[in-house]
Copies of this chain bind each other. A is one copy, B any other.
């Protein structure tokens, strides 16, 4: 079972991260300088693959693909510490492999790092809000509208790409992986820590908000 759960996290993270970076390369390459058009393509692809991967892999591993989500389930006691650490390790490794696969598919150098600055209070608040909303969506929808989970997560990220100034990374593993891609979806390595701190804070606050919001007794 554990092997299958890790394989599910690996396949999901690989496809998710390859899709985020690959669709960014495709979109920017074709959009003729209209960044909103590029972001439409990037959004459509990311939201779509998320829903697919969750429908298909959720019943196996829970379909985290995201250390902030794994942290939330760890705080709630729904996953053990050792398994959580293995999940995060697999998310990172398979996710980076996905980014590199995107580079190979688009005939780009495999090894890159981004020079795109993404920093400042506005973007950190964006990552906090984006991750808070993502984790609350996951926990809340699992609790009250289970059939809606794949669609909800895909749609939530589609919206968050547009309403946050950081285009909603909302995922520490993808933040690291995107620092290794000097493309549309990239983030300068120097800015990774600020994003991750905001993401983890958002995830933790979401867990406690969920407790208040969905506990049956008042």
Instruction: Summarize A's interface: helix, strand, loop or mixed.
Output: helix
Pair B122/A163 contact, Cβ less than 8 Å: no
Residue of B nearest to A3 (CB): B218
Q: Which residues of B contact A35 (CB under 8 A)?
A: 30-32
- With A22-B163, A36-B30, A141-B56 known as contacts, the answer to whether A158 contacts B43 (CB < 8 A) is no
Tell me which residues across on chain B come within 8 A of A144, comparing CB atoms. Answer: 55-56, 58-60
Distance in Å from the Cβ of A9 to the closest Cβ of chain B?
11
Q: In the docked arrangement, what's the CA distance between A101 and B43, Å?
A: 22
Q: Is B213 in contact with A60, judged by CB distance below 8 angstroms?
A: yes
Contact A165 B106 (CB under 8 A): yes
Question: A212: which B residues are within 8 A, CB to CB?
Answer: 4, 7
Q: Which of B26, B37, B162, B166 is A163 in contact with, Cβ under 8 Å? A: B26
